[in-house]
Amino acid sequence: MTLSTSIPHLKRKARTLQRKERIPLHQALDRIAAAEGYRSWSLLAARNPAGMAGAMLSTLASGDMALLAGRPGQGKTVAGILLAMEAARTGRHSIFFSFEYTAADFERRCAALGLAPAPHAPFRFDGSDLIAADHIEKAMDLAPPGSLAVVDYLQLLDQRRQNPALPVQLRSLKGFAQARGMILVFLSQIDRGYDAAAKPFPDLGDIRLPNPVDLRMFDKAFFVQGGEIRIPAAA
């Protein structure tokens, strides 16, 4: 479906509508999306992925470890799928690791979003019950430098008692990413106390951490809220 104008212009229209009608931005974005023929802004973004996914990918460098965080329903999983698909479209080896989806679930989610890997794109899905640092490193062992993995999601990496603590796994993955030139992106939950009315986007202080983690291990952080994404400047 062709948009009536560019996504940045549609976002400006949404902000104007937000001010005019004094409604939350995510509602304004959804109304603009509806006028374009989409059920929600996240679906509009998913059908027009090049801008958002390309902008995320352009900020990431080999060896980076990054967060992609948001509250439920704000679009972080869609953004993660788009990022993995865009990496594969540009020729990078790309893996989407998920604790949440089976392979069939993932295919249905992508189909609902109108997404599918390009033919022969170097993309694969991994929904193993054994996802942890050692599994991720083994799965990426033969991938070339610049390959990208999206992990859905950070807070579940140490859910199995036999897995090392989350900080231990992250230190291992950080060393792996730097030594091998990989890019690792972790979807992350945001604390329930985050108030979108108080600030438009969450930040590192809002990351939900059941166990202490040094967030300085992450080179970059993307935050999703109301169908929009805050993207850090490229290094």
Q: Which of 173, 192, 97 is nearest to 134 (CA)?
A: 173
Q: How far is the C-alpha of 93 from the C-alpha of 149, rounded, in Å? A: 8
* Residue 126 and residue 100 share a domain: yes
Q: What is the pLDDT of residue 235?
A: 45
Domain presence at residue 220: yes
Residue with tokens 């005019």: 20
**In this predicted model, what pLDDT tens digit does every residue of 132-174 receive, in sequence order?**
999 999 999 999 999 999 999 999 998 888 999 999 999 999 9
Query: Is residue 178 in some structural domain?
Result: yes
Report pLDDT for 48: 63
Per residue in 7-19, pLDDT (tens digit) is: 778 888 988 999 9
Domain span at residue 216 reads 55-230
Q: 59 and 149 share a domain?
A: yes
Q: What angle do CA 81, 84, 88 make, to 5 degrees?
A: 135
- The answer as to whether 2 is a domain residue is no
User: Do 30 and 136 fall into the same domain?
Assistant: no
Together in a domain, 115 and 27: no
Total of domains in the chain: 2
Say if residue 34 is in the same domain as residue 140. Answer: no
More confident of the two residues 48 and 213: 213
Shared domain for 206 and 158, answered yes or no, is yes
pLDDT tens, position by position, 95-144: 999 999 999 999 998 888 777 777 778 999 999 999 999 999 999 999 99
Q: Specify if 44 maps to a domain.
A: no
What is d(CA 75, CA 60) in angstroms, rounded to the nearest whole number? 20
Q: Is residue 48 part of a domain?
A: no
pLDDT at 51 over 70: no
Residues 142 and 64 both lie in one domain: yes
Q: How far apart are CA 173 and CA 140, in angstroms?
A: 11
